[in-house]
Amino acid sequence: MKNFLVHTDEVKLKMLESINATDIEDLFKQIPQKARMGKLGFENPLSEMEVQKRIKSLAKKNNTDYITFLGAGTYNKFIPACISQVANRFEFLTAYTPYQPEISQGTLQVMYEFQTMICRLTGMDISNATMYDGASACAEAILMAVRISKKDRVLVSDKLNPEYIDVIKTYCHANEIELKIFDKLPEQTSDYACVLVQNPDFYGEIRELKKPDCLLVVCVDISSLGILKPPSDADIVVGDIQPLGIPMSFGGPHAGFIACKEKFMRQIPGRLAGRTIDADGKPAYCLTIQTREQHIKREKATSNICSNQALIGLCATLYLTVMGENGFRQASYLSAKMAHLLSDKLTKKGIKTLNKQFYNEFVIEVENAEKMLLKLKENGIIGGLKLDDNKILIAATEINTEKDIENYIKNI
């Protein structure tokens, strides 16, 4: 039991001395004081019941009732109540990430169904069983393209989510890949491993995709594929699955996906679940491909990604199952409808929308973005993401109502 006893003051002091620290506070000095939570101010001692009451009273000070028009990669989508009920069952919700070959049939079937749904949405042949998030999916797609093409130069659109670009820069630097961020696609692309574009892009604009003379990687808003044509001409399609039944949760956790043409199957990172027939002639599921260093591939692994986001992938699979094809399309339609309605009303108010064509996200130009957003917030509305002093990125989803939009217009 000695491993489970708390450290004595003497042991704590020795541990601190080994890293040249004098007290426990030194461990947190890199965190700005303004970002750290102060003391709760509890009288000592309190019973558990008293502590619960005090915590609840403090929690009520948080304002979580804002009407939100935030987007930029994380969206306020409707989530059917049954999703959490199923996902929180003990068979699925575990501290242990299911990644070994002996995963239960239920978990393997969820992975298989998830992959199938992603392929149907994206028009691709193969999908893996999730990535960490949309950013890592983009970066892994670039590594995948480099392996396929045997070229170490890549082109990435400057209209891609800036956070995704930052992750890509890190991956490219570590793998000695030459990265070029472009505004206008060069005419000559055959010297590059791939071109990576986002559609709709980070600013909401729907762009016509042109097949370059190299591999084409497209990052999509998965919810837009309810009404937009899937990027079937792409070689690799990536994205984030947060819009599929995953709450905003202050920005995470998310999960991503990679889907591709069948001929690139052996280069896809992560793992793939497959369906076969067992000795009794019944359907059975197994991990068919797992090209990672923790298994037999070692230094030949396509990626060092260590796990799939199994629980979030389950939520996405449940969401698509419950919504169905018609429900998913309706949610996409309503998102687009509300965004265009808000854009039209802003235009009538004299505010310019910079997008020519968009799905559910657009950019407006105003005299003072900070002032406008502050006024909206004072009236219970998070009005969008400030891009600079004069531009705001606004997103609408099926959650937003016509009344929400009227309130937005009334309070600007």
- Residues 357-375: tens digit of each pLDDT: 999 999 999 999 999 999 9
Task: Residue 223: name the closest of 315, 332, 340, 326 by CA.
Answer: 332
Mean pLDDT of 7-29: 90
Q: DSSP letter string over 47-74?
A: -HHHHHHHHHHHHTTS----EE---TT-
The DSSP bridge partners found for residue 198 are 219
Query: Where are the domains positioned within the chain?
Result: 67-79+324-410, 82-319
Local confidence band at 126 (pLDDT 50, 70, 90 cut-offs): very high
Strand bridging mode 178-182 / 361-365: unpaired
Structure tokens at 199: 């559609």
| CA torsion through residues 311, 312, 313, 319, sign | positive
Residues recorded for the chain: 412
17 class by beta-carbon count within 10 Å (0-12 exposed, 13-18 middle, 19+ buried): exposed
Give dist(CA 365, CA 391) in Å, integer. 5
Q: What is the pLDDT of residue 102?
A: 61
Q: What is the pLDDT of residue 41?
A: 75
Q: Are the beta carbons of 77 and 408 closer than 8 angstroms?
A: no
Mean pLDDT of 132-149: 96
Greatest alpha-carbon span in the chain: 72
pTM of the model: 0.86
Q: Are the beta carbons of 69 and 381 closer than 8 angstroms?
A: yes
Give dist(CA 254, CA 129) in Å, integer. 14
Local confidence band at 197 (pLDDT 50, 70, 90 cut-offs): very high
Three-class secondary structure of residue 287 per DSSP: strand
Q: Are the beta carbons of 281 and 296 closer than 8 angstroms?
A: no
88 class by beta-carbon count within 10 Å (0-12 exposed, 13-18 middle, 19+ buried): exposed
Give dist(CA 24, CA 124) in Å, integer. 52
Amino acid at 189: T
Q: What percent of the chain has pLDDT over 90?
A: 73
Report CA-CA distances (Å) from 207 to 121, 278, 287. 18, 46, 37
Q: What is the pLDDT of residue 58?
A: 84
pLDDT tens readout for residues 332-365:
999 999 999 999 999 999 999 999 999 999 999 9
pLDDT tens readout for residues 27-84:
888 888 888 877 777 777 888 998 899 889 888 888 778 999 999 999 999 999 999 9
Give dist(CA 127, CA 104) in Å, integer. 20
Local confidence band at 297 (pLDDT 50, 70, 90 cut-offs): low
Three-class secondary structure of residue 274 per DSSP: strand
Three-class secondary structure of residue 273 per DSSP: strand
Task: Residue 72: name the closest of 203, 248, 265, 241 by CA.
Answer: 203
Structure tokens at 403: 């009344």
pLDDT tens readout for residues 216-273:
999 999 999 999 999 999 999 999 999 999 999 888 899 999 999 999 998 998 888 9
Look at domain 67-79+324-410 and name its CATH class.
alpha beta
Q: What is the pLDDT of residue 3?
A: 64
Return the higher-pLDDT residue of 403 and 299: 403
Strand bridging mode 385-386 / 391-395: antiparallel
Look at domain 82-319 and name its CATH class.
alpha beta
Give dist(CA 264, CA 157) in Å, integer. 23
- For all residues of the chain together, what is the average pLDDT? 91
Crossing angle between the packed helical segments 105-122 and 310-348, to the nearest 10 degrees = 30
Mean pLDDT of 319-328: 97
Amino acid at 359: Y
Confidence check: pLDDT of 299 > 90: no
Give dist(CA 195, CA 211) in Å, integer. 9
